[in-house]
Chains A and B, each alone.
Chain A
Amino acid sequence: MSAKQLVVSAGVSIGLALAAPYALAQKKYDAGASDTEIKIGNTMPYSGPASAYGTIGKAAAAYIKKINEEGGVNGRKINFISVDDGYSPPKTVEMARKLVEQDQVLLLWGPLGTPSNTAIQKYMNAKKVPQLHVYTGATKWNDPKNFPWTMGWQPSYQAEARIYAAHLLKTKPDAKVAILYQNDDYGKDYLKGFKDGLGAKAATMIIKEVSYETSDPTVDSQIVQLQGSGADVFFNITTPKFAAQAIRKAYDIGWKPVQYLNSVSASIGSVLKPAGVEKAVGIFSVEYLKDPQDPAFANDKGMNEWREFMKKYYPEGNITDVFNVSGYASIQTLIQVLKQCGDNLTRENVMKQAANLKNFEVNVLLDGIKINTSPTDFAPIEQEQMAKFDGKEWVRFGETFGK
């Protein structure tokens, strides 16, 4: 071997030695990811009984269009494949299988609905494909031990109920609490969170619990029962129609407890106005997103950016609809996860990064709310701020609650 050859071969081998691990560390792909593209699957109820939520998927798709126009994530364009499941669980199963097996997506993002996500949870975990940022408030999505491939996004019902409990313990520790709840998983989730939050005092503080069925025509008789218990605090765990009835009935029979209203029904337009805004003055609830209808955010920087985005990328969308804010915020969380993944776009690393968000902020979430996750904490948003209804709008107060 001549000296020249030696130098060349040495140079090559050193080069290889340096490059090989570098290349390995740099680029790793599972199905759905490549040097140029990341495929993301999504199911949404674009049709059917829950089609009002469909706009979340459209807002997310519009945001991805923006990201792609700006060059994508780490140089890769995102191919967002969003399909309609009509809020029908069997259809969600079919569509999830289509996205995973036929379209070969890297992950499934933001499927909407508790029954729909329940239907595919076992499948996604068996296939080891991330089921990321699911759109439902049930607490069971935060279960990394049994379902390491499933993660929620929005605050869970239990987390919200714990906030009310904390507020109550601080402001009225000797309260006598009456609770009305919907008799299903959603209602029981809130109930559990509230009791957990009160801790040992739950047994003495809660003096009456009454439930109702969604098939009940009204909750009037339940409200009369609760008043009869002599409670001075009322926790209202009801869906919009029943929430309006409960607020009105309590006022009409002269029951004036301190009221906590679950955020499911914190809509001014569909609950408080039908109940009568004067009857709802002083009610407590929580918020985590900036409401586009709230005058406080008329000149907010984050909301102005959102309005610009809506005008440019989703002009047919409704700029008073809070779901469009929600889709915009949640998809940014996914983009952050993908950014953190770098060139290691394996499904395993996606889950690892999704569980590794540190103080991530989205400017349409209320100021001070930070997204944090860890390998044992699969609940991205756990902070919310309390608000009190003044007869016209929700007035936020105090610090943000939650972790």
Chain B
Amino acid sequence: MTTEIALSAAPAARPARSRLAGLAVLFIVVCALPFLVSSYTTFQLTLVIVYSIVLLGLNILTGYNGQISLGHGAFYAIGAYVAAILMDKYGVPYWATIPVSGALCLVVGFLFGLPALRLEGLYLALATFALGVSMPQLIKYKGIDTWTGGVQGITILKPDPPFGLPLNQDQWLFYFCLAVAAVMFWLGWNLLRGRVGRALIAIRDQPIAAEAMGVNNAMYKSLAFGVSAMFTGVAGALGAIAVQFVAPDSFSIFLSISFLVGVVIGGIASISGAIWGALFIQFVPNIADQISKAAPWAIYGVFLIGFMYVMPVGVAGAIRIFWARMKRKAGSSPQRSG
């Protein structure tokens, strides 16, 4: 499995023209969505976009670099609180809070990454788990509750569309998050499809060989942590603006675990996998709840096992395998007929 993923994640040839056309069509469809669905569904799709940014960030760390984090909910919380506090206490406009959240999480993530470097695999997972599990309580700490609002949380106002655009608040927020996501995906794409991406994968698969090739393992691993946290922080800020409320209870350890679930379900070491994973963590709990009130998480578990059984390399991996098979068929059929 490792080799397959490593190969698939290696820099692809220049995207084919048909693929670009496909992306363009997809982009237009996504842009049209807010006008086709209700504002409630638009709000849900906005959350999908937000989660996809988190999953992309977590994928950089877990998928490409092989470091497991069970604490990304903490970075999400930091991003969310930075945005909420800046808006609520200092009157900073919502769009200006995004880079601040990202920058702060970059620094915090990088610093957390430094000592965490000594920890491998499961031990790192536990260290990050500690971070995730303690974050809600740290937020409640009374020394900072003049800013964080303590258990009460902070309610923020939903931004209105600028320049008198004929959109409602949900539609505008959707486009705003979409634009931020486009920038973040472009960043991620450039980062992972080049030298840095190769180095991250090399460290994941063959750390000693990577070191021998001149890759600075320590630096890259810390950087992966920092960048991953930055993506998550940006998403946290967007999430806070979309939900209009932050409170310690919003960032329980389950959030961190959901993120990891999303990464694996979507597809380890896959950029498009982030979107599939986001769709999963947004919609499957709702579907599970509709099926059974008594045991929604048991149904969720069944979904999880089902997905892992049918698509062991994630949704993105399954799609890739499917296309490869179709191509082979298309390539072989003329021969058969001729």
Contact = CB atoms under 8 A, between A and B. Distances in A.
A185 B150 contact: yes
A50 B249 CA distance: 11
Interface in B228-269: 239, 243-245, 247-250, 252, 254-255
Interface string A101-121: 110000000000111101101
A102 B137 contact: no
Contacts of B294: 46
A118 B245 contact: yes
B33 to A, nearest CB: 16
Interface stretch (B37-45, B98-106, B186-194, B314-322): B37-45
A202 B255 CA distance: 44
A318 interface: no
A311 interface: no
Contacts of B293: 46, 57-58, 82, 84
B43 to A, nearest CB: 6
A229 interface: no
Given A101-B39, A101-B40, A90 B140 contact: no
B151 A115 contact: yes
A31 B329 CA distance: 53
Interface string A80-108: 00111011111001100110111000000
A398 to B, nearest CB: 34
The CB with the most chain A CB atoms within 10 A, among B44, B150, B153, B247, is that of B247
Contacts of A83: 289
B249 A87 contact: yes
Contacts of A114: 151-152
Contacts of B239: 90
A213 interface: yes
B142 interface: yes
A215 interface: yes
Contact of A90 (B39, B137, B141, B250): B250
Nearest to B239: A90
B47 to A, nearest CB: 7
A89 B245 contact: yes
A84 B296 contact: yes
The CB with the most chain B CB atoms within 10 A, among A90, A98, A100, A184, is that of A90
Nearest to A122: B155
A119 B289 CA distance: 21
Nearest to A58: B293
B289 A94 contact: no
B297 interface: yes
Nearest to A184: B151
Contacts of B39: 101
A89 B244 contact: no
A183 interface: yes
A183 B47 CA distance: 33
Contact of B153 (A49, A86, A89, A98): A89
B239 to A, nearest CB: 7
A119 B153 contact: yes
Contacts of B248: 115
Contacts, number: 95
B289 A46 contact: yes
A47 B296 contact: yes
Given A83-B289, A101-B40, A93 B249 contact: no
Contact of B247 (A94, A102, A118): A118
Secondary structure class of chain A's binding surface, majority of residues: helix
A26 interface: no
A119 B40 contact: no
A329 to B, nearest CB: 21
B137 A183 contact: no
Interface string B16-39: 000000000000000000000011
B247 A115 contact: yes
A48 interface: yes
Contacts of B255: 88
Contacts of B155: 118-119, 121-122
Nearest to B292: A46
A184 B140 contact: yes
A225 interface: no
Contacts of A183: 142
A123 interface: yes
Contacts of A97: 40, 43
Nearest to A87: B249
A89 B40 contact: no
Interface in B281-300: 285, 289, 293-294, 296-297
A336 B314 CA distance: 51
A19 to B, nearest CB: 37
Contacts of A89: 153, 243, 245, 247, 249-250
Given A88-B252, A89-B250, A214-B140, A185 B152 contact: yes
Interface string A259-278: 00000000000000000000
Contact of A48 (B41, B43, B47, B254): B254
A326 to B, nearest CB: 18
The CB with the most chain B CB atoms within 10 A, among A47, A121, A122, is that of A47
B41 to A, nearest CB: 7
Interface string B127-147: 000000000010011100000
A347 B57 CA distance: 44
Contacts of A98: 40
A88 B151 contact: no
Nearest to B47: A94
A215 B135 CA distance: 12
Contacts of A185: 150-152
Contacts of A119: 153, 155, 243-245, 247
25 contacts: A46-B289, A46-B294, A47-B297, A88-B252, A88-B254, A89-B153, A89-B249, A90-B245, A93-B244, A93-B245, A94-B43, A94-B243, A102-B38, A115-B151, A115-B152, A115-B249, A118-B152, A118-B155, A119-B243, A119-B244, A122-B155, A183-B142, A186-B151, A213-B140, A214-B137
Interface of A: 46-49, 57-58, 82-84, 86-90, 93-94, 97-98, 100-102, 113-116, 118-119, 121-123, 183-186, 213-215
Given A87-B249, A88-B250, A101-B39, 12 more contacts: A58-B293, A83-B289, A93-B245, A94-B44, A94-B243, A97-B40, A115-B250, A118-B155, A118-B247, A119-B247, A183-B142, A215-B137
In the complex, the 7 A-B pairs of residues with the closest C-beta atoms, listed nearest first: A101-B40, A119-B245, A115-B247, A90-B243, A84-B289, A97-B40, A184-B151
Interface of B: 38-41, 43-44, 47, 137, 140-142, 150-153, 155, 239, 243-245, 247-250, 252, 254-255, 285, 289, 293-294, 296-297
